[in-house]
Amino acid sequence: MEIIKVEINGVVYTVTSGVYDPAWKSAASGKWLKGTFAVFDRFIRPGNVVVDAGAAFGILSLYASRTAWAVHAVEPDRVNFAELKVNVGLNPHGGGEIQCHNVALADGDGRKKLYSRSFLGDSSAGLLKRSGDSGDYEYVDVRGFGTFLLENEIRPGEISLIKVDIEGGEFRMIPDMLSKLDKNTSLHLSLHGPYLGEFYLRKLIPSNFFSKLIHRIECKFRFPFLSKLFCYPLVRRKVASMLDLLDCFKYCYDEKGFEVDRNAVLEECPSRGMDLVFTNIKSMSLTLANWLVIVIETSAPIIKISRELSTRPYRFNSFGDNVMYV
């Protein structure tokens, strides 16, 4: 096992390499997870608890431990979980304690099938049986959110942020979770609408061979003819139902800090994944931030600046304190 060192936002981590090496290097270069890191910086309160559902090999759990008093890293895939444990052990002085849990969070307790996308350890295994999956699965322990809190003696008021990235399993976890949350807890949700569409396609065509064949044809020609007709309406209906439940939060943002329109989510969710932040904490308006930049950069024409703002990367977005562009 090769050990490497990567620096992310000024902190050096000692981690395992191998199959996860490109992911670590992409995060270190700012090409991957930049928005998620900014969300963590904004919404994790010092001395509080973070729940990282879908922790994979530990990159976000390690990052969260810089600020949080405790991080609960939840990962059902046994291959990912082994890497998670090693990476946590290699960084004993990273900050808050990281507790690793080899379970899946769902809508109840027991055991369920975890379906691998390509192979275990590819960070895409999920509880939904999808048309693009390999067909392999293994049984894993699952917990409802309330049971998970009780077993680990976590008080809801201690949690400042819950990150949920569980490859379509959020449609089972979120309804069960919401009634157990404190009003001061924020939710970072990766919404996997396409995986839910694959789940419905797999139900429409029970044959593993034919459902996978249709999935491959739709992907190859970029024309989801069957999915658009039968699955997209079901995905929008399910997402709309979940958004109704998430109305308990005052605000919904994307990772760049822009408020998200519900209709835009429903329109786009069947064809692409989305990272959303649900919170009762009002974030600084990016619109105001953009105008501040325009005022500061008086040497350039306003039209040119307004065009550049949509394409130029910035060091911190509206979740941070610095809105300077790089």
**pLDDT tens-digit profile of 28-45?**
998 999 999 999 999 999
Query: Looking at per-residue confidence, does 284 or 322 come out higher?
Result: 284
What is the reported pLDDT for 284? 57
Q: What is the pLDDT of the chain when averaged over all its residues?
A: 87
CB environment 168-203: b (16+ within 10 A), e (fewer): bbbbbbbebbbebbeeebbbbbbbbbbbbbbbbbbe
Average pLDDT over residues 72-79: 97
Q: Are 32 and 23 in contact (CB under 8 A)?
A: yes
Residue 289 vs residues 34, 43, 203, 286: alpha-carbon distances, Å: 19, 19, 46, 5
In CATH, the number for domain 34-283 is 3.40.50.150
Band the pLDDT of 73: cuts 50, 70, 90.
Answer: very high
Average pLDDT over residues 2-17: 89
Least confident segment among 67-81, 211-225, 260-274, 285-299: 285-299
What is the reported pLDDT for 299? 47
Q: How many CB atoms lie within 10 A of CB 267?
A: 11
Which segments of the chain belong to CATH 3.40.50.150? 34-283
CB environment 31-52: b (16+ within 10 A), e (fewer): ebbbbbbbbbbbbbbeebbbbb
Q: What's the CA gap between 64 and 48, in Å, rounded?
A: 10
Q: Are 190 and 165 in contact (CB under 8 A)?
A: yes
What is the reported pLDDT for 286? 42
Band the pLDDT of 308: cuts 50, 70, 90.
Answer: very low
Q: Shortest CA distance to 75 belongs to which of 47, 105, 98, 50?
A: 105
- The β-bridge relationship of strands 3-8 and 11-16 is antiparallel
What is the reported pLDDT for 285? 47
DSSP tally for the chain: helices H, then strands E? 13, 12
Q: Shortest CA distance to 104 belongs to which of 114, 91, 92?
A: 114
Q: Does the pLDDT value for residue 60 go beyond 60?
A: yes
Phi, psi torsion values for 133, nearest 5 degrees: -75, 160
Q: Are 320 and 256 in contact (CB under 8 A)?
A: no
Q: Does the pLDDT value for residue 289 go beyond 60?
A: no
Q: Shortest CA distance to 169 belongs to which of 77, 34, 44, 264?
A: 77
Band the pLDDT of 87: cuts 50, 70, 90.
Answer: very high
